[in-house]
Amino acid sequence: MKEITLGDIRIGNGSPCVLIAGPCVIEDSATTAAIAGGLKSLSEDLALPLIFKASYDKANRTSKDSYRGPGMKEGLRILDEIKQEFEIPVLSDVHRFEEIDQAAQVLDIIQIPAFLSRQTDFVTEVARTGSIVNIKKGQFLAPWDVAHILDKALATGNDNILITERGVSFGYNNLVADMCAIPIMRQYGYPVIFDATHSVQRPGGAGASSGGNRDMAVYLAKAATAVGIDGLFLEVHYDPDCALCDGPNSLALASLPELLTIIKQIDGIIKSSEDLEDSEYR
């Protein structure tokens, strides 16, 4: 498997599971810094590699009246402050061609949103930056469709690619996470991340916004880690019920120590038996 290197962090090829976590959207400087600081402290206590994530503009909100974020200029400024102050890499998503070059100057990982994962020109333009690219698999795609997305990105000469599973559409306003998708996608040779919190989202399920079932995210996180993943993606907030975006499927920061302790234990067991897994189950 391709190993992605980001400073001291290694992703894939049997490296320890990396944590990609943060609020769904940047609400303000203080809230974002508080969450980043809490995650940094937790990652150090548990010796977990951490990448901080937050969106500066959620262009795919259900309602036009929903909070989207501070916008690119202010959002990138805040993310750059987080990056410098806490000495952690940062990830955010881009939704428009005009943002790609400026985002690449700040972000360590550029994320392609699930709804844009089939947009050929957008995928290739992001990949051309040479940055590490995290492609969210659309909830309308089968796991083997990832091969075509990878071909588009790799055609640019950039092979620093991550693929994130975030559930698949299951009727109206519901998603289901198929654990079989993880080994299917890993067979293409690039690190696979599991997004446990978006997998319990209910798109549009709250009428003018998305609903979710955050209690189930912890079970999916454990299950995916047991299947074998290279990173775990979590939306985290101090007070999810008051979050301005994706609160129903976000986890409380205070709940993470117990969950991540278990995740690290499971990941250690799976990674120590990876040779057995590769030889007998593929």
Spatial distance between the Cα atoms of 244 and 238, rounded to a whole number of angstroms: 12
pLDDT band at 63 (very low <50, low <70, confident <90, very high): confident
Spatial distance between the Cα atoms of 220 and 262, rounded to a whole number of angstroms: 13
Domain extent, residue 51, equals: 4-280
Residue with tokens 């993606």: 233
Residue with tokens 């009428």: 207
pLDDT at 66: 85
Spatial distance between the Cα atoms of 221 and 117, rounded to a whole number of angstroms: 23
pLDDT at 194: 98
Q: Facing residues of 235 across strands?
A: 22
Instruction: Report the pLDDT averaged over residues 80-107.
Output: 98
Phi and psi for 150 in degrees, rounded to 5? -60, -40
pLDDT at 213: 85
As for how many domains the chain has, the answer is: 1
Q: Report the CATH number that the domain containing residue 259 is assigned in CATH.
A: 3.20.20.70
- Quick check: 197 pLDDT over 90? yes
Residue with tokens 């309602």: 63
Query: With a threshold of 0.85, does the pTM exceed it?
Result: yes
Task: Name the 3-class secondary structure at 205.
Answer: coil
Spatial distance between the Cα atoms of 228 and 116, rounded to a whole number of angstroms: 26
- Quick check: 276 pLDDT over 50? no
- Quick check: 211 pLDDT over 80? no
Spatial distance between the Cα atoms of 165 and 225, rounded to a whole number of angstroms: 12
Instruction: Report the pLDDT averaged over residues 10-32.
Output: 97
Q: Is 65 exposed, middle or buried (0-12, 13-18, 19+ CB in 10 A)?
A: exposed
pLDDT at 6: 98
What secondary structure, in 3-state letters, does 104-162 show? HHHCCEEEECHHHCCCHHHHHHHHCCCCEEEEECCCCCCHHHHHHHHHHHHCCCCCCEE
Distance of CA 118 to the CA centre of its chain: 17
Task: For the chain, give the percent of residues with pLDDT over 70.
Answer: 94
Spatial distance between the Cα atoms of 237 and 86, rounded to a whole number of angstroms: 17
pLDDT at 212: 75
